Structure 1
């Protein structure tokens, strides 16, 4: 008896999803309260039920079970329509990984990126980021991640980049492909749910996510953001001893994290072009520079060192001191830009009030 009881429990546990679904459906249909807020979210449910009643002469729209059945069928219909758009986009984008796999372009792509970068870490990261976005378009995240890591994973650590930073760099930019035109699979799915224009939804999603484009580069140049500390051979997770070492923790962990958030904010204002009032083009350009200096000053210092080296001057500009100085300059530029725009916004209503008062005085003098 005990053995059969155990087997029965195992059988019931194996079908728990079915049991839970059945209980949920019965609860929705037979709930004595009589209200069904879920069914009121979409007017097309009522229209579908009413249309069914007109054609069949039944009263499905008057019963909760009938309305629930209409809701389920309408949801299945909308889901199929939304999935069709997404499947088409994914199928079109699937040509890219197919070509890479069949032609063996992966090795050539890796060699091309290395040759074009010419040993420049900044250029290598930019090219690797572009490759991650392109390969990630319409491709499952896991597949994209494996392809890019196999291609570029062994190369980036040779530049002294922490392995965890390399993997997060690839994964982060690959995920951005979901909202990057023209494929933007996530935007197509969201547009189907929101019943909005897919391209406008994707464009808005892309602009809203673009202010975080510097974050994966910050992972590479400041591993302290990932709570990593560079050791002799590799980087490892910081310990309590590292936290108490304020000479390391404050400038290499706290400062980069705070500056990265400030850089994301600055880039967001520069992209949207509004902060209490419209931001001028010059201010947006300055905020863009501030975002780069705050988030990834290494992308300025390394090319500058290379450029000076072309003139025969060997100087190492990418140091912790220069890193902190540029972050400070970026912070000053951000604060100055925001304060200037806020004062401008506060002055605009005052100017409008003056114009209105002058109009009123002119009308009074005319009347007199």
Structure 2
């Protein structure tokens, strides 16, 4: 969001100091949605935490922000007891299941909502494709998978979620140190964005990880990729569908989207396919068409003439020893990889692609 023409720092600080009594700690009171257990649980204000206040002073010094403003904002952040457990990965041995995952996102309600979103924004989607090269179905797929086109944008106060994951990230997570550092940076980005734009840092609500708006941008993504695509002089990813469309397209262009390149092709695996070698790079495109084929994976159709690199994408369907549960394989291109920059998951990327395709089919009827 762009800053108002006049930003009164003293008034903003005073507002922060009384805001705990004036604002709800989640969106439940604002949008009527039922709050989760994690949101209802009593929290502890980070004003009582010395480490949080040291962080506030250090951040203010490093980023050139007024210490009193940062301390006031951080002091109003609340610990959310239920959030840390939500960050823990599934128990080891839990089988992935593409069919089950797909059914969560590719359903009639979401497809119909996507068609309505498409019809409302047909011209804007076409403009985004012309400007950034990203097809409408990919943008529509992202917004549908993330929030059902704004129907579920999250109900956690962003500052609470980010503070909790900065100062109380679960230590048993296998990548706890790296993830905690990630959320600390996001908290800094959020507070800097709030001060720079005049946005009340106690107001925004989003996911339990601090993602915001219809496209669920983390604060760093908002800073780097959010744009004013409706031309009204401000960026609003909660209410402006044009800003959402332009920002998602800008995000993908910034991560290397190649216009006209398919996201994936079918693939034929030989009985002698070197599966360990083919799957070792995970979703990172690493094989030329020739090296892919030499390892036993032959792309189908136009994939044989693909000039770039491939990744062998495996989508598991539960216990593979059970008949009918065989994994699904596709040959992912560089554009498939770009979609995973939004969420590091081949299952997520395929859900985005297939939701977009279903919406296209409904719109075309």
Same fold (TM over 0.5): no
More strand by share: 2
Counting helix residues as a fraction of each chain, which structure ranks higher? 1
Give the structure-2-normalised TM-score: 0.24
Name which one, 1 or 2, has greater alpha-carbon Rg. Answer: 1
Q: TM-score, normalised by structure 1?
A: 0.24
